[in-house]
Structure 1
């Protein structure tokens, strides 16, 4: 089955199964967040989260979770279970079957009352998710970054992975039951990781996860890099009771893992704003003291880049001008070969470091598999080694500013003066 991958490694005591069900960001993201928490509350065989915990304890302290992550135009519903390899179990028990049984239970046999989710559990999880969204709203940097996405995009990529309060208010038992029925019929992808000596045997076991037999839905996942930008949104100032201003900028990279020069984009971002070695950090923060924090990041599946900064209200304009100046320098090639090698070393080191985590490695590879990308981590590293200065300059040249969101403070005299 081409939707199942194997990662062989003997460096850990644990094996793991990472199962991903991609859903569209237009399919009620908020509802899937609540559904994930409801599914964790119990199953037909395990009548509560406590019984699930006891089952995991009997598996020598296995771990499981249901997580959600926005990757390109998709929301990944991730079922993950990690369990001890039989080299370390007391009686050399093989725990693959028990892990697979738990996953099938969670997906196909959730805890129901008269063929429906329990109202009390739903109410609790809706409240919990409301509090979670409100806590993110309280993180002003995160809030500003979400606002710049809302302002600068017309398509579904503007939707945050945790959803919205507006959507949350519409969730009830029927909505969740419908989402659960849809989830069971979707295509899924899986990686089995760990000390796997008999690959065929593990593949046969993992193939018993019923959801992996679903047919492909025919949707061209590789088309998900297409963006519908709102180029009319410009610069938006918003006031709030805060002590430190927040600046969020949105760019169209005109590059992604699907088209253009992805490998050069990776190194461009590292040199430009990807850490303490970057131009933004050293010029905007260290040299000119215009920001308390500043960074750039990009989504390789979506083709967008963002810049986030914490800065005094009066420095918004100066900081933006300096950011524009640094982009101009990148276009002109005003960065050294040493800058390239430092960036290349840091990115490759982070890729190599993924091998220290089964979870990180499987999730990295499964995202590529979902979107039909055949790269291995080794091939990505090889691609990065071939990037030249001219290719990085070309990436900078293709960068397009879309919009900005500035979160400003309030004072008694009205608006702050923005330098």
Structure 2
């Protein structure tokens, strides 16, 4: 799938009077790569620390406070086969100010300074900031090593996707952090500016055409114009389902399941998949929660989640070490029941209500609206909120049964006590 940016830049504006603030987000997308993800993660944090014009935390914070307490943030994520750095700025909408401060333009100028005029000397970022952000990321990633739920999920992805970078966290890997320097981080930065696909989103009580014109003026991207090609990561070859059992010192066993769905976001079957996930394990009203956790007391925690953009569903659970086999068999059996249409119309209707309610709630948060706008990159025609709600409401029991039948259990991963650990 290819998206041609206009004037090298993809701009979407969502005018709404719901908020007293305006939120601006810039997303930089590059091919996911195990080696560059860590450096890009550090870069995302270094860039929001200071700029040439505001060369310290203190001075930069003062500038933000003078913009009526504007708030800057950055984070990294995965989107199809792309690694994404997102920068957001939230500021008060100038329409609600008594004075005539052109706050939106000042905000654009701040973002422009932050991204295009960072604190760089002799083609190297500030050593102190880089060292601090490396230490913070190290701490964050090392805490994940102690989180058995997170580790077991990453292990599941590794067995499903092999060496593909999709199996890694978007924030990177501890092993690559020591290799990031103030100098090579500058090269990562140059690559982001020159090679990434850039999308800009604005949500607030604004005029669409005026904002587009202002964004084009401030963010004069010199990057080469190219089509954004988006592919889903593919499963590696193996027998299905493959079953892996590994051992560690765990209080409770982790049993994770990876399923391949028959469709992705943008396909006609997507809405049935969303309902399927909600019925199966997406909510406390779901089958897994009721059957496995409440009725049979087999799991301390259990839920299912979908990566709809790539077409995968995961079931993640924590169970008693002595109930691993029963819990595993029960989850598989409950999904087979779905494939045979053994679920009530009440379950179907409740799942649809929960999805619609969650969608409506997301319209109350500017950042959720921005993610929804960004997901529309994957579509030939953007989906409006009313279209999505209508499609969800129209999903039938037969639709859910059909996508369940076409869903394949790819991998079952168990992390439990015993094995070499118990010797």
Compute the TM-score of the two structures, normalised by the length of structure 1: 0.93
Match status 1:384 vs 2:356: no
Q: CA deviation at 1:204?
A: 1.1
Distance in 2 between residues matched to 1:374 and 1:21, nearest whole Å? 20
Runs of 4+ in 1 over 6 A off after TM superposition: none
User: Given the alignment, which residue of 120, 123, 138 partners 1:115?
Assistant: 123
Q: CA deviation at 1:258?
A: 4.4
Does residue 334 of structure 1 match 2:342?
Answer: yes
Counterpart position of 1:163: 172
Residues 309 and 98 of structure 1: is their aligned pair in 2 closer, same or farther, counting only changes over 3 Å?
Answer: same
- Within 2, Cα distance between the matches of 1:115 and 1:94? 33
Report 1:219-298 matches (<5 A).
Answer: 219-221=228-230, 224-232=231-239, 234-259=242-267, 261-298=269-306
For 2:3, the equivalent position in structure 1 comes to none
Distance in 2 between the 1:145 and 1:381 partners? Answer: 31
Q: Does 1:188 align with 2:198?
A: yes
1:9 is the counterpart of 2:4: no
Q: What displacement does 1:343 show?
A: 0.6
Give the distance between the partners of 2:62 and 2:156, measured in 1 at CA. Answer: 44
Unaligned runs of 5+ in 1: none
Q: Is the 8 A contact 2:280 2:286 kept in 1?
A: yes
Do the aligned residues in 2 keep the contact of 1:254 with 1:260 (CA within 8 Å)? no
Structure-2 change in CA distance of 1:371 and 1:315 (3 Å): same
Closer, same or farther in 2 for the Cα pair 1:143/1:211, shift >3 Å? farther
Which position in structure 2 is the counterpart of 1:313?
321
Report the Cα offset of residue 342 of structure 1.
0.5
Work out whether residues 29 and 75 of structure 1, in 8 Å CA contact, stay in contact via their aligned partners in 2: yes
Q: What is the CA deviation profile of residues 20-57 of structure 1, one whole-angstrom value per residue up to 9, with x for unaligned ones?
A: 11122116111110111111221111101222211110
TM-score scaled by length of structure 2: 0.92
User: Aligned match of 2:226 in 204, 214, 217?
Assistant: 217
Compared CA separation, residues 62 and 135, structure 1 to 2 (3 A):
same
Higher mean C-alpha deviation, range 179-188 or range 254-263:
254-263
Q: Do the aligned residues in 1 keep the contact of 2:260 with 2:311 (CA within 8 Å)?
A: yes
Tell me how far apart the structure 1 counterparts of residues 380 and 188 of structure 2 sit (CA, whole Å).
Answer: 25
Q: Provide the C-alpha distance between the structure 1 equivalents of 2:280 and 2:421, rounded to a whole number of angstroms.
A: 37
- The question of whether the paired residues in 2 share the 8 Å contact of 1:25 and 1:75 is answered with yes
Distance 1:230 1:165, change over 3 A: farther
Q: CA RMSD in A?
A: 2.1
Match of 2:143 in 1: 135
Q: Which runs of 5+ in 2 are unaligned?
A: 1-5
CA deviations over 1:187-239 (Å, ceiling 9, x no partner):
2111111111x322121112224265644423422xx1251334358222222
Distance (whole Å) between structure 1 residues aligned to residue 58 and residue 73 of structure 2 = 14
- Verify: 1:76 aligned to 2:84, yes or no: yes
Count of paired positions = 412
Separation of aligned partners in 1, 2:421 and 2:175: 34
